Structures are given as structure tokens and as C-alpha cells.
Amino acid sequence: MSNSAPASDSIAPCFYRWGFPGSPVRVRLKIDVIPGLWKYLESGLRKQPGASAEFGGLLLGTAHLHHIAITSFEPFVCRPSANGHLAVPEEDWPRLRGAMDRWSAPDSAIRPVGFFRGHLEGELQLRDQDEILIKEFFPHPSSVFLAVQDGGPGHPPQAEFFFWDGGKLFPHSILPFPFDTRFMETETRLAQLRVDGE
């Protein structure tokens, strides 16, 4: 995984870089987006037992070839399934399409580059409902899907990006990371120090 940061340690890094050798996509995630996005997801994941729910929405930013920058997000509200999992029903597809179209105007500085959701239990991975949604709305190879899971008491949330690889979706977790601003800033600074020392 490669990360970068401004040369000066007095300036907080702006982006966390996610990727690995041979990765079909390289993601730059704006660090100051994390608190607001997690607050939104947390409000569903940490409800009373039996009422917890996965919230989700659009990842916004820019994409060039396989380089993706995520700089904002927009919640997409729909009723969760009985088990709390997020599965956007077909009757909500026109509303989701409309939200994407609003961000896809020619004069828009950012556009939809993927989708995100909370993850209630089990290993971070794509479900069948996720794959249906991605194939319908995010077929471009420069699209990503972000899942974020509560880390439990005393531990930061855990996150994972899922992506297209050779025309197929890679549904399993390969490079999870703490969804935490302090971790991201530290990792980004350390990566820059390694680069500066070469």
C-alpha cells in the first residue's frame, strides 16, 4: 500500500492513498471526509440491538483512468431490509439515478465515483445485492464500492474498497484499513518519510 503526505509535518495530510502492487485501481480518499461519513454510518450501525441498520450513499470525486479521488459523499436514504442490510430496491432506482444525474452535470467539479454502505456483521465483503447495484449504476472500471464496519469498543472502524478487475467484480476483502483520521494521517506521513529517505 502506498501513501503520501505534504513534506512538512506541521501540515495535516490531505489524502490517504489506498492500493497495492498490481492494484487495478488507486484510490485517494480525502481525510477530512472521514468524520462526517463515519458519523452518518455510525448512526445506523450503533442503534439499539434489533434496530441497527446499514446506511449508504454516493461517493463523490474525480476519476481519471484507474486513479480515483474521493472528496465528498451524499447519503442516499432508503428503507433497510428486515435484517438491517442495505439493499436498494428497484423502486428506488429512479431516485438513485436522479441523484447521480444531478452530480453528473457538465459543469460539476465532482461526480459519482462509487457507492458506500455500513456493514453490520461478518467479514467485509460484497453481497449479491451490492453486485446488482454496482453492475446497474457503476459499471465503469474506475468505480469503487466502500464498506465500513464498526470496530467495537476501543477499536476504530474497519473499511474496505471493492473494485472491478478485468471486467469482473472482486467481492472479497483484500486490503482492509482502519477508517480513522489519526491512523490515516500517521500512515500518510510515514509513507512520505520513506519516500524522502530514498
103-137 confidence digits (pLDDT tens): 998 889 999 999 999 999 889 999 999 999 999 99
* Predicted pLDDT at 121: 87
Residue 54 · residue 121 · CB < 8 Å = no
Least confident range of 9-23, 37-51, 108-122, 143-157 = 9-23
pLDDT digits (tens, 9 = 90+) for 139-159: 999 999 999 999 888 999 999
pLDDT at 4 > cutoff 50? no
Sign of the four-CA dihedral 182, 130, 77, 27: positive
Over the chain, what is the mean pLDDT? 89
Sketch out the chain's domains with CATH numbers.
19-75+84-192 (3.40.140.10)
Residue 86 identity (one-letter amino acid): L
Arithmetic mean of pLDDT, 36-41: 96
* Predicted pLDDT at 190: 84
pLDDT digits (tens, 9 = 90+) for 156-172: 999 999 999 999 998 88
| Three-state SS letters, 113-178 | EEEEEEECCCCCECCHHHHHHHHHHCCCCCCEEEEEECCCCCCCCEEEEEEEECCEEECECCCCEE
